[in-house]
Structures are given as structure tokens and as C-alpha cells.
Structure 1
Amino acid sequence: MNFQMIDDTSKAFSPLITRRGLIALAAAAPMFGSGDALGQNPSDATCHLADGRRLGYRIYGSLKDFPVLYFHGTPGSRLEAALLAPFCNANGVCLIAVDRPGIGMSTFSQRHSHVSWPSDIARLMDLLTQSTSFDRFGVLAMSGGTSFALACTAVLSKRITATAIISPRTPGAPGVPKGVLDNALQQAAAYPRLAEGVLRRQIRRSQRHPNVMPSQFKKFAAVDRNYIQRNGTALRQVIAEASRHGTQGIVHDMSLMRWPWQICLPRIDVPVGLWIGNCDYSAPPETLRFLHRNIPRSQATTVLGEGHFSIIDKAVASAAIWLKSNSAAK
């Protein structure tokens, strides 16, 4: 399958760096609106790590299919994979969605970083290999999961066949303009306690007023606002699970999203597929160009007419097929 770069003229937004930015980020977290709840009932499990922590994960699909580790967005949790699983399962891919430290069922760690994360995932791979027929894995990431997926791809190249990233995010990277929420990420990194409090209040507010969409969403493309309205209930459940033990893990996760990462992108020797919508105002088009330029074996696709969230319905099936084709090539 061949991919090509398609230039677009998406507008990059630059909100002011103020406390209002934090509120904007918190407002985006609950994903308000009406919609069907998460309809699947896959199995949850935990992996016990060497330092005593637990790593929570959920399996979507048949263990006979090709295994793909799923790294959720930020804020997000393993429940997010329910929105992508139908496209993956229909194409022979079993998703294994992992909660990062401090999120969902995973134990918080202040030491969580791009350096430590591959070790956690390697332990999970060992566990899955022992209990299933899994040997090598694909990786699929969404948005804020970008850097965590690439960290594992760089370190675990002998066990990862390929990595696919939907709506990649590189906030603060050289030459990449700010997206609609990037200033809020900067504020969260600078004032984590404040960010934790703002998120807690906003999540409670979303539970009281589930059908109210904040004004900040006006900055998103119409296709994204429509997607949020259709899937609002499911997305609220994703965030509720992410904050199961508080918001500390979410805010720490946010701080790791911003460039610089502790990853040497040019040394990645695994195929990396990138999909972005030309109506994505969270990830400017320069995001795709930055990653494509710095990752040697990357392939980039711009999906016309799609945004940061709506692209799920258009690109995930292609990503699943691409991941499976690369597994066969190994």
C-alpha cells in the first residue's frame, strides 16, 4: 500500500497563553454530547511490573488475530479503543489497549517517561507471549499516544513489526505551529497542581451537564464537533475511567506530550504509518511533515475533509490493513 503527502491549507490557531488555556484543555477532556455508550464488553486484565506497579489493559477482539498494542490519546484511557476496535477487528486485528501510569487501572509513577515506558510494555509483551500465541506485535496510537508509541518503536524494534499513528501530535516540535490546545499543554506542564484541579472541576461539571458543549469546541472543525456529539457518551466514559484515581496521571501524561522527547526519531528502523486530517486544528499539517522528515521509514497520508476525531471512521481500517500487511512481511 502506497501513501503520499498531500499538502493542505489548514489554519493553525494560536490561543493566548493564560489560565484560560488550561480551562480550554479541561473543557476538551470530557467530550460532551449525546451518543451510544461503549457497547463492547471485552476483557480487562493487569500486568504486574518489577517495581510492584500494575499496568492495566483491555483486549478487544480475537486472540487468534494479529495483536496490536493500542496507545490512547491524552486525556484518554484503554476504553478509547472501543471506538477503533470495530474497524480493526473487521480486518483481522486484535487490539490490546493499555492504560498509561496513573490512568485507569495502571498505577501512577512520577518516574513515568519515554525512557521507562518501553520497559513497561516489554513486560506486558512477555506476559502476552507466555499466555497466547503472540510473538511480534504491531502498534497503533491516537493523538497524545504518539510519543509513547514512537518511544516503544525505537527501543523494541525486534518485537514491533510496524507502528501506525492516527492524528499524530508533536506539540512544541521545531517548525510545528501551535494547535488549538497546545498553550493549555504548556500551562499544564508549568502548573500541574492547578491543572489537576481544573480538570477535576471540569469533569464533575460534564457529569452534571452532559449535553452542554463548551465554547472551546467552536475552534474545532465541524466534522469533529459532529463526531463528538455522536459519540459523547462513550467519550465521557473514556475520561471518567482515565480519572478513576484522580487527575494526576492525566496531567503527568500531558507534560510528556510536549517536545523535546527522549526519543531519537532518525534511529527508528521500523515502518511507521501516519494519518492526519486536513481539517485537524489540534495537529497542524506541519506535524505530519516533521515526523515524515525525521523518521526514515515513515509513510504519510493526509485524509481530506477529516478532523482530529472524525478521521477515526475513515483511517483506522486502512491503518489496520497496513499493520497486518507489514506483519506478514516480517
Structure 2
Amino acid sequence: MKKSFAPTAPRNEGTIQLKDGRTLGYAEFGASDGMPVFYCHGFPSSRLEAGIGSAAALAHGLRLIAPDRPGFGLSDAAPQRTLLDWPQDLRQLADHLRIGRFAVLGVSGGGPYALACLTALSERISAAGLVAPLGPLDEEMGQRAMQPFFRLTFFLATRFPILTTFLYGQLLVPLLRRCPTLLLPLLRTSHPDMPVVRRPAIRAAMIASIREAFRRGGRGAAQELILYTRSWGFSLRDIGLPVHLWYAGQDVTVPPVIGKALCERISGCQPHYCPDEGHFSLAYAHAGEFFRVLHQAIIRASSLSDYP
């Protein structure tokens, strides 16, 4: 039987200055002395999203560290960034926190960033998990299965990047900053997601994370959308580390065909198919499973003396 965990607030938040002068914000959840797991948040979201998995991480003795990506939350924008710049930001945060090896968990739009870390930081990663991860947008079948709002969003980002930047920066984000609840009806688009998004604690956590995502405006979100649609700069077939990947049969945000295609390209992928879940019910109902599996994978990969 799946055990549900209530969202919690961060037990610690902070910022660091990166070598190029930018500020990177982060929050910590779970066990303060646990095995470290870097959490790559979804889109559009922020470090606060990890609070949904905080209690589950604590139950399994994991230290959950969630940085804001550039342009979101407390983190400065990086106008010319690529997906492969993210692992270097994460490396500097790990060094600042005096963490040697660590696991990564990428959720939804954070999936490509976790995958970038697997290619660029493989020597420091002990285990990896992906939850309903976005894949390369070259699979037409996957895009066709998306709900219309996201399908249109990626179409605009692909064909009209300047328009996308204007729409997010000048129109959509100012509206969502004032009323982030407007986004929620677009998120609960599959039957399993509806009761999850309607739960007061989950709803409040999602609203807080969305509002924080747009703290600095919408240019970071627009930039991220465009990055998703371009070449990622690395090959999934070059990933040699074991990867646990969960995908949901009722997901219309990141349809299951995308998860299946990712697993076919990653040689060490271990799929976990949840046929009765949607995009958000998967992340909520199976949080305990994600962190249990990651904990076991960390133990198998490394000696406890490697931590923290």
C-alpha cells in the first residue's frame, strides 16, 4: 500500500555566489545528516517544490537539496546558458556544502537537467532517479499526446522563440504572479491528478512554488522553454550510470511514450511503469518509493563513509 506524505517547509535556505558572480539559491529538506540528493525541480517551479517529497526523504534518511535554476526563485538569470551549464552550477553548490558524491532526482521539466548531470558529473553521482521526465522534443508521438496547452507552448518555443519570450515575460507571468491559481486547472488534466491537486496542502505547496518561480519575472521561464526544444548538447546513449525512471500511464503533461523512449535510449535505465497514475499523482503517491529506491541504490553504489 502506498503511503502519502504531507508537504513541509524547508528546514534551511541559502544562497551562494558562483564563480561568474551569479547568485544561486537553494533549500534543504529531509534529514540534515542524511545521504545527499540534489533535486532538479519541474517547470515552471522552484526549490520549494521539493517540500512535497520532504517527509518521504526524511523517512528514508536522505538530505534533499533543491537549487533554483537560473532565472527562478533566488537564482540570477544566465542569459546565454545551456543545459550543460547546469552541472557546473550544481558542482559549485556541492563543493560549497562540502558534499563529495551525491544522488540526483529530476522531476518533470527537471529531468533534462538531471540527465545533463549524469553526462557531466558522472564521477560524483552515486544514484539517479527521474520522475515523469521531459525527454527530447523530437518524438512527434509524444508531443501529440500532450494536453493542448503544453503542446501549443512547445510549438511556440520551437517556431517563435521571440514571441515566447514576450508572452511569458510581458503577459503570462505578470498574471500568474498575481494569481498562480490560474495555472492549476491546466495541471489537473488527467483523472488521477484531480484529487491530488485539490488537496489543500498540495494545492498550497504548488501555488507557493509557482509564485516563487516567477519572483524575478518570466524571462527565465521563457528561456527554459526554448532550451527544452533545442539540441541538449549531449547524447542519452552516452549515459552509463544506472537510472531509475518512473512514468505514468495517465500522464498527459509528459505522456508515457516519452518515458518509454527515454528508457530505450539510456542503456542503464530501469523503468517503473505506473499505469493508473497521472503526472502529479505519480509524484505525490509514489514519493516514498522514489526515495526508498534511491536510498538502496546509493547503498549499493558507495560505502557509507562517502557521506555526507
CA distance, structure 2, for counterparts of residue 217 and residue 135 of structure 1: 36
Q: Which structure has the higher relative contact order (CA within 8 Å, separation 6+)?
A: 1
* Residue 201 of structure 1: how far off its partner (Å): 4.1
* Residue 149 of structure 1: how far off its partner (Å): 0.5
CA distance, structure 2, for counterparts of residue 95 and residue 169 of structure 1: 21
| Contact 1:281 1:307 (8 Å CA) reproduced | yes
TM (norm. structure 1) is 0.81
Please identify, of 105-114 and 317-326, the stretch whose mean Cα deviation from structure 2 is larger: 317-326
CA distance, structure 1, for counterparts of residue 29 and residue 178 of structure 2: 30
* Residue 197 of structure 1: how far off its partner (Å): 2.3
Q: Deviating runs (4+, > 3 A) in structure 1?
A: 210-214
CA distance, structure 1, for counterparts of residue 178 and residue 48 of structure 2: 21
| Contact 2:139 2:258 (8 Å CA) reproduced | no
Question: Counterpart in 2 of 1:95?
Answer: 64
Question: Counterpart in 2 of 1:141?
Answer: 106
Q: Match for 1:221 among 164, 168, 190?
A: 190
Q: Partner letter of residue 52 of structure 1? A: G
CA distance, structure 1, for counterparts of residue 78 and residue 114 of structure 2: 18
CA distance, structure 1, for counterparts of residue 283 and residue 271 of structure 2: 16
Q: Match for 2:236 among 261, 265, 270?
A: 265
Q: Match for 2:76 among 83, 107, 115?
A: 107
| Contact 1:172 1:260 (8 Å CA) reproduced | no
Q: Give per-residue Cα distances to partners, 1:247-269, cap 9 Å, x unaligned.
A: 11111122222353212111112
CA distance, structure 2, for counterparts of residue 253 and residue 227 of structure 1: 26
| Contact 2:8 2:52 (8 Å CA) reproduced | no
* Residue 136 of structure 1: how far off its partner (Å): 0.8
Q: Match for 1:328 among 290, 293, 299?
A: 299
Q: Partner letter of residue 138 of structure 2? A: A
* Residue 164 of structure 1: how far off its partner (Å): 0.4
Please identify, of 226-235 and 42-51, the stretch whose mean Cα deviation from structure 2 is larger: 226-235
CA distance, structure 1, for counterparts of residue 251 and residue 183 of structure 2: 22
Question: Counterpart in 2 of 1:17?
Answer: none
Q: Match for 1:301 among 253, 272, 275?
A: 272
Q: Match for 1:235 among 206, 228, 232?
A: 206
TM (norm. structure 2) is 0.87
Q: Match for 2:167 among 194, 201, 206?
A: 194
Question: Counterpart in 2 of 1:29?
Answer: none
* Residue 225 of structure 1: how far off its partner (Å): 2.2
Matches within 5 A, 1:1-330: 39-129=8-98, 134-170=99-135, 172-174=137-139, 176-178=141-143, 179-180=146-147, 181-188=150-157, 190=161, 191=163, 192-204=165-177, 206=179, 210=181, 214=185, 216=186, 220-230=189-199, 231-258=202-229, 260-330=231-301
Shift of the 39–139 alpha-carbon distance from structure 1 to 2, 3 Å rule, reads closer
| Contact 1:77 1:99 (8 Å CA) reproduced | yes
Shift of the 71–204 alpha-carbon distance from structure 1 to 2, 3 Å rule, reads closer
CA distance, structure 2, for counterparts of residue 211 and residue 252 of structure 1: 21
Unaligned runs of 5+ in 1: 1-36
Question: Counterpart in 2 of 1:11?
Answer: none
* Residue 69 of structure 1: how far off its partner (Å): 0.1
| Contact 1:141 1:165 (8 Å CA) reproduced | yes
CA distance, structure 2, for counterparts of residue 136 and residue 293 of structure 1: 27
Q: Partner letter of residue 222 of structure 1? A: H
* Residue 177 of structure 1: how far off its partner (Å): 2.2
Q: Write 1 or 2 for the structure with the bigger share of helix.
A: 2
Q: Give per-residue Cα distances to partners, 1:1-37, cap 9 Å, x unaligned.
A: xxxxxxxxxxxxxxxxxxxxxxxxxxxxxxxxxxxx9
Unaligned runs of 5+ in 2: 1-5, 302-308
Shift of the 38–317 alpha-carbon distance from structure 1 to 2, 3 Å rule, reads closer
Please identify, of 193-202 and 110-119, the stretch whose mean Cα deviation from structure 2 is larger: 193-202
State the aligned residue count. 286
